[in-house]
Structure 1
């Protein structure tokens, strides 16, 4: 029996993060895909479970957990080995800051509901929506590169993956989908390449998930 149930969408960045974290922690889980393109996240059935109507949502230990960073924090406390967030205060702040640069600064501006609003309600063309997406990635990654480089190793912080890498990998997947050049971010690209060599990251990739019908 799985230890957890993950409600997610295969190409959702936030869901991708949680799949990686679950894999790193060795937590068995059942995926229950929620088709964002079809609006299943807004259904009465799903909102009865998660009033915010977002993915991911993780059912574990009798709890329904939402928000990817909160879920990752829960998993790190519940299953402490291997750690995703360091214990020393300054190191913890550094790793959490890098995770938040992606999860709080870049990603929300490019969330599907924002892109749909730009196109449908505000009448922007697909070309304009794609340009919006690429702009906010290109604005956010330089700061992350500069912030990470002095303390990076094999990964964004040292030589073991942290929550920062868990957030980075889905973001660079999206950057490549929208043809955002990554040549100027050697630290980020190196960490991404090393992370994707690990099965915990590779198994979470959207291409290896069931696509909702």
Structure 2
């Protein structure tokens, strides 16, 4: 098993958590987003979209998109499970994961911020403001779900870690990397703290990866 990753990639962060929870330690290939290595022909041959991460295991094309990779890992390495046992629970966990990874994170990726700079002249301060806006909206929505819904337990759904926690943690850390705080999201912050008491989460933190400042 091989993963193409980078410390600043929040999507790679999600997959690292999943791999750690499953007790898997693939070979890591570092693709430097800051140097544009994800746009090089060698990496585009692996993932034509030029995004991280990509996972190679066995035959067939590389696996891409973090949530799809996490579900693949859950199906091929089912213990511990990353999704609840019941259909409604799985739907809720997936929804929280998608709010974080799909609705919030996707709007602050390097390619989006690069386009803002190149096409509209948005400077670094403006890009940070943009990131705070979209990540904040996502986190606020998640906070409302966690606060209102009885399915919330020690973690985002119940008392065991799910794909929801993995995705929410990644976006919360992304918000912090942009200089944001979690004070406005107390229930979410409580769950984030609990997640980072687990080695699978703490060891996967972006700032603990090779190349991080």
TM-score tier after normalising by the smaller chain length: over 0.9
1:193 pairs with 2:193 = yes
Structure 2: unaligned runs, 5 residues or longer: none
Select 1:59's aligned residue among 48, 56, 60: 56
TM-score (norm 1): 0.94
Q: 2:171 aligns to what?
A: 171
Select 2:133's aligned residue among 122, 132, 135: 135
Q: Is the 8 A contact 2:139 2:172 kept in 1?
A: no
Select 2:4's aligned residue among 2, 7, 19: 7
Structure 1: unaligned runs, 5 residues or longer: none
CA displacement at 1:120 relative to structure 2 = 2.6
Alignment RMSD, CA only?
A: 1.3
Q: Cα distance 1:208–1:180, how it changes in 2: closer, same or farther (>3 A)?
A: closer
Task: Count residues with an aligned counterpart.
Answer: 209
Structure 1 residues 135-179: Cα deviation after superposition (integer angstroms, max 9, x where no partner) = 111111111111123222211111111101111111111111223
TM-score (norm 2): 0.94
- Distance in 2 separating the partners of 1:30 and 1:195: 25
- 1:84-103, aligned counterparts within 5 Å? 84-103=82-101
- Distance in 2 separating the partners of 1:61 and 1:159: 33
Q: 1:37 aligns to what?
A: 34
